[in-house]
Amino acid sequence: MADRTLIAGGQVFDGTGDEAVAADVLIDGNRIAAVGRAIPAAQRAGAAVLDASGLTVIPGLVDGHAHLGFGSTVEHLAGRHASEEEKALLVAHSGRVLLDCGFTSAYSGGNRLPRVEVAARDAFAQGWLPGPRLRAASWEGSAGQVQPGVYDFPGTGGRASDPASVARFVAEMADAGVDIIKLTLSGESAVIAGTSRVIQFTDEEVAAAAAAAADRGLWVTAHAHSADAIKMAVRHGIRAVYHCSFADEEALDLLTAARDRVFVAPTPGIIYAHLIDPAFPPADVGEMRDALDSVRKVAPELKARGVRLVPGGDYGFAFNPVGRNARDLQLFVDWFGFTPAEALRSATGYGGELMGLPGELGLIRAGCLADLVLVDGDPLADISILQDQGRLTAIMKDGRFHKLAAERRSPSRALAGR
């Protein structure tokens, strides 16, 4: 008999943004078999029963801008000079920490060790290492760099346009097995002062990247603070646009027109970490304060226009470690005016679409993949409780429990429907 579990008596948030309703959820193998108040006894018979009374059942969370390779988590801060081997282990470690936080999927924002990321993706999928479903990304390419992964943001002014080398980069990353090509279309003032609004690629370089990626069946993600970088991303059909801090009216219009194919990760977590988090000395780096003021206007406007915003806050730095990821949902509420249900939909239903599994991931519906989190309490009343690992009573990925609190384990496999 297939391995079946009935999650009974919880409040179910289905990932669409609708309020939670009382319902049972039947899992069969790695899929959700049925959802409802009255699953027929014949269908439930023989399933193991998990008492979910007092719990809210939500789809597994999706981080839309994840970095498993930055090296720091809430459990371990990476040393400054970790060896390549240690960095590889930290990718695996970060995946496990992320899964412990209820994130059953991660859409990567780049990794300096793309082959490690690909190996981690496959290991997580095969189930011999704990970690989320992963869409693996290239290192963060900017054109004209001296060497891979060095964020020198040279701009486009003092160098020749070089579409051939950009296309070659895409081909190399495709050969390495990534799913996503990451392009740093504007710089990053938090790394090199004054570069956030400086374009790093020529138009023909982005065109070459987009064509090469399409040729190999890869998605493209853009790091884009400036309005011009956002416009460049949308015009070249780039699928995910990060930050969007300084979008102007024209950039907002372009994103709106592309809303059926584009995702935006406004990435508030890193801003919070830089400017506000009391756990670390506030560092008013670069244009971070300007970015905060601007993105607090841009993100609500994009939401009002129906653009899909997804959480993901550049977690992985020592001052912004992996494990704090659910804080982005709170910032969606506190800074961007989302209701908790809207923030959760961004992290679940929209997340499933971002992962390339629309209608199959990020939803609690018959036929969907069985990625679930059982939350002690009501995150739709208080989204902050998702940041408390102790409130995550159970975490299921692909039909298997990664975590199940001892008090919810039944002593015997009670028969459902009695």
**Where does this chain bind Zn ion (CB under 5 A)?**
109, 314
Contacts of 27 (CB under 8 A, 6+ apart): 4, 5, 6, 7, 33, 47, 370, 372, 396, 399
Instruction: Please state the closest distance from residue 67 (CB atom) to Zn ion, in A.
Output: 6
- Distance from C-alpha of 163 to C-alpha of 171, rounded to nearest angstrom: 12
Strands 400-404 and 263-265: unpaired
Nearer to Zn ion, 191 or 405 (CB): 191
What are φ and ψ of residue 42, in 5° steps?
-65, -35
Please, what's the largest Cα pairwise distance for the chain?
A: 75
Nearer to Zn ion, 120 or 368 (CB): 120
Instruction: Please state the closest distance from residue 375 (CB atom) to Zn ion, in A.
Output: 27
Residue with tokens 């570069």: 195
Residue nearest to Zn ion according to CB distances in the complex: 109
Instruction: Please state the closest distance from residue 89 (CB atom) to Zn ion, in A.
Output: 21
Cα 361-315-332 angle, rounded to 5 deg: 65
Nearest to 383 by CA among 340, 336, 342: 340
Work out the angle between the directed axes of helices 114-126 and 84-100 (0-180°, nearest 10). 40
Instruction: Please state the closest distance from residue 271 (CB atom) to Zn ion, in A.
Output: 12
Instruction: Please state the closest distance from residue 215 (CB atom) to Zn ion, in A.
Output: 25
10 Å Cβ neighbour count for 249? 9
Task: Dig out the tokens for 40 from the structure.
Answer: 């027929």
Instruction: Please state the closest distance from residue 314 (CB atom) to Zn ion, in A.
Output: 4
Nearer to Zn ion, 5 or 108 (CB): 108
Nearer to Zn ion, 57 or 190 (CB): 190
Contacts of 165 (CB under 8 A, 6+ apart): 143
- Hey, is 49 helix, strand or coil? strand
Contacts of 248 (CB under 8 A, 6+ apart): 227
What are φ and ψ of residue 50, in 5° steps?
-110, 120
Instruction: Please name the amino acid found at residue 359.
Output: G
Nearer to Zn ion, 15 or 312 (CB): 312
Strands 372-376 and 55-59: antiparallel
What are φ and ψ of residue 319, in 5° steps?
-90, 0
Nearer to Zn ion, 28 or 179 (CB): 179
Contacts of 89 (CB under 8 A, 6+ apart): none
Nearer to Zn ion, 109 or 132 (CB): 109
Instruction: Please state the closest distance from residue 65 (CB atom) to Zn ion, in A.
Output: 6
CB 131 within 8 A of CB 108: no
Instruction: Please name the amino acid found at residue 245.
Output: S
Nearest to 101 by CA among 309, 315, 276: 315
Nearer to Zn ion, 68 or 174 (CB): 68
Nearer to Zn ion, 47 or 299 (CB): 299
10 Å Cβ neighbour count for 386? 29
Nearer to Zn ion, 109 or 362 (CB): 109
Instruction: Please state the closest distance from residue 51 (CB atom) to Zn ion, in A.
Output: 40
